[in-house]
Structure 1
């Protein structure tokens, strides 16, 4: 299971079941997933697995549904690409990567 197994890794390609879920949810469903991911991320670094698990549950899904979990992990990657999230580590391994809300004005 992607959120529990240390060695589990998100496949590079979307399988048929995950593609069907995306089609079922549509654009508005994906937006709700993105909103839940943003709500459960913090300004400090958190494990991506934790952010995903919290967002999955907040969206009314089950964390045992691998298709839902994989889709949420892919949406984290999309949010990083869009600049809404920052990430450290390999996002295909949610237990070994961290994410946070993008810090626009962070001072070092």
Structure 2
């Protein structure tokens, strides 16, 4: 009897999808969610807005994707993610700084 589609998929996953690829996919998923969040907030406001969660998704996805890029030993991918992390961290710094300054004394 021929293997079922589920059995074929399971076999393919076992052969090709190791934990680092799964981690890379998780990072890409987080990275993609930043655009979904930005789109949702902008649609609700009726104008282009970059919400705070955009930067958290960017940073989280960027860290995971940088880890994956290092594992892959891909210098282009590494440089791209490392540079992005600096921008995401700087924006989060501004957000935290402004919240700290705005808190009641």
Q: Which has the higher strand share?
A: 1
TM-score over 0.5 for the pair: no
Q: Which has the higher helix share?
A: 2
> Normalising to structure 1: TM-score of the pair?
0.30
Over alpha carbons, which structure has the higher Rg?
Answer: 2
Higher relative contact order (CA 8 A, sep 6+): 1
